[in-house]
Amino acid sequence: MSKVRVLVGTKKGAFILESDGKREKWDVSGPHFAGWEIYHMKGSPADPNRIYASQTSGWFGQVIQRSSDGGKTWEAPGGDIKPGPEAMAGGKSNKFAYDTSPETGKPLTTHQWYDGTQHPWEFKRVWHIEPSYNDADTVFAGVEDAALFRSTDGGTTWHELSGLRGHGTGPKWQPGAGGMCLHTVILDRKDPGRIYIAISAAGAFRSDDGGKTWKPINRGLRSNYIPDPAAEIGHCVHHIAMHPSRPNTLFMQKHWDVMRSDDAGDNWHEISGNLPTDFGFVIDVHAHEPETIYVVPIKSDGEHFPLDGKLQVFRSRSGGNEWEPLTKGLPQSNCFVNVLRDAMAIDTMDSCGVYFGTTGGQVYASKDAGDNWSPIVRDLPAVLSVEVQTLP
């Protein structure tokens, strides 16, 4: 029987939740890297026992951790083994150096600071890790300040795909409330050249040549909080989801508005429909029904908690516009948690499982596509990210 492994990144460590295909009884391991912020963990489609984790700290910076046994043991990849009783693997994995201009040797570009002045890029952390479909040692990292890096040696060394920052719109990018982060990386299983990424607050971008060249894909987005609501650059995209079988169809949760594109991001249209509020962070797609999508509406701008203290997932089975609330098993009073952008995931079991984590430390699971929910754990540190692996 298949089993599932849920990877949970929190403000104070990583947790791994495992169950058989029934998804009724769960084994919980952790905290791994106790005390450190784990922004994201994700397993390799090419080798499910290979898992990468972004371990970060405002005090000590960025570390990439890697497991080759499904999360039982971890190493900071680096290669060098120092002799002696305290021998351990070295840790080159925490070096993310931005490219400079090949002509001048100076910084490639600057971005807009909060006060409108130009500001140099400064590396802060890895927000999102996206392993390759084909090679367990190839992995992408979306970072703050916004850039895309790739490693082809299992996370040991990282190199910027600087065509993204260098294509010309960089000076218009600006930080959102959470910083200027590249938080979404979507690969196309059938076309290795295609990569989608999203940045707060710049927008969405696409490469069709494996990350060498990029173009903004924000036509149709409207953001009333920027001087030109329909500008090419400046949109606070919160997350994008894609069903693997339909790589030209994208679903976006923007700061406000839930959006859809059917032409690989070239044009977007709004599908917020009857949502009680179209602000939120997460968005995801059912594993077997490409027109079934999920969001968690959140009250904003300032509050960032569910409407009326009721935690509700909304599901559309028509690709947007018509939404139904899913509440069975979720708290319907006095609930004031948030669900952050990378904190929802979908398994590929026959009866599709949906998972999400909250800033209150709960991880909820539904094994029937959202009809019924129950908490796997409810007292973790604030959850930053949730991913799930469906294992044979």
Partner 1 sequence: MIRVVLPPHLRTLARINGEVSLEVSGPVTQRSILDALEARYPSLCGTIRDHDTQQRRAFLRFFVCEEDWSHESPDAPLPEAIANGREPFLIVGAIAGG
DSSP H or E stretch at residue 164? helix 163-166
Give the residue with the Cβ less far from partner 1, 86 or 103.
86
35 or 193, CB closer to partner 1?
35
For position 177 contacting partner 1 by CB under 8 A, the verdict is no
Answer yes or no: are the C-beta atoms of 138 and 131 closer than 8 Å: yes
Q: Give me the 20-39 binding string for partner 1, x by CB under 8 A, dash otherwise.
A: -------------xxxx---
- What is the CA 59 to chain-centroid distance, rounded? 23
For the bound state, the minimum distance from the C-beta of residue 59 to partner 1, rounded and expressed in Å, comes to 4
The answer to whether 379 contacts partner 1 (rule: CB under 8 A) is: no
78 near partner 1 (CB under 8 A):
yes
Quick one: which segment of 85-93, 124-132, 147-155, 348-356 binds partner 1 (CB under 8 A)? 85-93
> Measured from the CB atom, is 33 or 364 closer to partner 1?
33
- Three-state secondary structure of 54-79: EEEECCCEEEEEEECCCCCCCECCCC
State in angstroms the smallest separation of the CB of 156 from partner 1.
Answer: 11
Smallest gap, in angstroms, from Cβ of residue 268 to partner 1? 37
Cα 25 to the center of its chain, rounded Å: 27
Nearest distance in Å: CB 22, partner 1 = 36
82 or 106: whose CB is closer to partner 1? 82
Stretch that binds partner 1, among 72-80, 106-114, 199-207, 344-352 (CB under 8 A): 72-80
Among 21, 45, 70, 91, binds partner 1 (CB under 8 A): 91
Residue 365 host element (H or E): strand 363-366
- Over the window 46 to 65, marking each residue x when it contacts partner 1 by CB under 8 A and - when it does not, the resulting string is -----------xxxxxxx--
CA distance linking residue 189 with residue 133, whole number of Å: 6
Minimum distance from CB of 89 to partner 1 (Å)? 7
Given the complex with partner 1, which of 31 and 280 has the nearer CB atom? Answer: 31
Amino acid symbol at 65: Q
Tokens at residue 297, please? 């509406």
Strands (DSSP E) found in 68-189: 110-112, 118-120, 125-131, 139-144, 147-151, 159-160, 181-187
Measured in residues, the chain has a length of 392
94 is an interface residue for partner 1 by CB under 8 A: yes
Residue whose CB is less far from partner 1, 74 or 214: 74
Q: How far is the CB of 376 from partner 1 (least distance, A)?
A: 24
Alpha-carbon distance values, 1 to 19, 22, 72, 300, 334 (Å)? 11, 9, 21, 43, 39
Cβ(359)–Cβ(338) under 8 Å?
Answer: yes
Give Cα 61 distance to the centre of its chain.
19
Q: Is 82 in the site for partner 1 (CB under 8 A)?
A: yes
State the minimum distance, in angstroms, from the CB of residue 287 to partner 1.
35
Instruction: DSSP letter for 172, please.
Output: G
DSSP secondary structure code for residue 10 in this structure:
E
User: Is 88 among the residues that bind partner 1 (CB under 8 A)?
Assistant: yes
Whole-number Å distance between alpha carbons of 10 and 30? 11
Q: How far apart are CA 390 and CA 108, in angstroms?
A: 41
- Taking the complex as a whole, the smallest distance from the CB of residue 61 to partner 1 amounts, in Å, to 5
Is residue 95 near partner 1 by the rule CB under 8 A? yes
Q: Is the peptide bond before 301 cis (omega within 30 degrees of 0)?
A: yes
Binds partner 1 by CB under 8 A, chosen from 89, 226, 307, 335: 89
Residue 40 β-bridge partners: 54
State the Cα–Cα distance between residues 301 and 225, nearest whole angstrom. Answer: 11
Number of residues that bind partner 1 (CB under 8 A): 25
Q: How far is the CB of 60 from partner 1 (least distance, A)?
A: 4
Q: Which is nearer to partner 1, 1 or 87 (CB)?
A: 87
Least distance CB 368 / partner 1 (angstroms)? 36
Positions touching partner 1 (CB under 8 A) are 11, 33-36, 57-63, 76, 78, 80, 82, 86, 88-92, 94-95, 97
